[in-house]
A and B are shown apart, each in its own frame.
Chain A
Amino acid sequence: AQSVSQHNHHVILSEAASLELGCNYSYGGTVNLFWYVQYPGQHLQLLLKYFSGDPLVKGIKGFEAEFIKSKFSFNLRKPSVQWSDTAEYFCAVPNQGGKLIFGQGTELSVKP
């Protein structure tokens, strides 16, 4: 069965630091990959998604993610975080039925 693993449960950074959040998935075939963000007290919103083509995907608010098939990874990056990036981040992969399988989530705290 498809599974998703996020290695970092809680990340604390200072403003302007660079960010990389890890995401690994288990399925080796064709995959679609998503990153969702949940700001404090809000619902999940789509940050970016990958279906095919260029493995470097750019999303909203300066985020990007790189799909590396050989490593089964889809890590989320941002060169310089802001206090407003404080949120919980979820990596997700749909299974064959279209159901989203979520990782455990990574809580990001950015200190001003």
Chain B
Amino acid sequence: EAQVTQNPRYLITVTGKKLTVTCSQNMNHEYMSWYRQDPGLGLRQIYYSMNVEVTDKGDVPEGYKVSRKEKRNFPLILESPSPNQTSLYFCASSSLQGLGYNEQFFGPGTRLTVL
């Protein structure tokens, strides 16, 4: 089954404790992206990747890091989480060919609370 998976689904942590949210897709997609969803703000892009070892900042990259060492994986790293990073996070992937025309496939979301 074609899917995007994320782990963990729920995470409560404390300020400053490094964490990683994993994202994996099995559709051989080149394009992967991280979004955060906050009430009244919709989804905002954090980082995206066009292919292995190619990453770029989205609209709200501060406080986040990503890596793309393998095509299928795109982890989101919070080196020193702060309470304003409490949010719902989604990973998405899409074929690069026809990007902008194709559907983006979303993961189930990770609800992060930073105390």
Min CB distance A60 to B, Å, is 12
- Find residues 85-115 in chain B having any chain A CB closer than 8 Å to their own CB: 90, 92, 94, 96, 99-101, 103-104, 106-109
Please give, as numbers and ranges, the residues of chain A lying within 8 Å of B108 by CB-CB distance.
42-43
| CA gap between A44 and B42 in the complex, in Å | 12
- Please tell me if the beta carbons of B42 and A105 are within 8 angstroms of each other in the complex: yes
Q: Which residues of B contact A (CB under 8 A)?
A: 4, 31, 33, 35, 40-45, 48, 58, 90, 92, 94, 96, 99-101, 103-104, 106-109
Using known A-B contacts A43-B109, A99-B58, determine if residue A90 contacts B103 with beta carbons closer than 8 Å. no
Q: Which residues of A contact B (CB under 8 A)?
A: 6, 9, 32, 34, 36, 42-46, 49, 51, 90, 94-100, 102-105
- Please tell me if the beta carbons of B90 and A44 are within 8 angstroms of each other in the complex: yes
Please give, as numbers and ranges, the residues of chain B lying within 8 Å of A102 by CB-CB distance.
35, 42-44
Please give, as numbers and ranges, the residues of chain B lying within 8 Å of A104 by CB-CB distance.
40-42
- Please tell me if the beta carbons of A43 and B31 are within 8 angstroms of each other in the complex: no
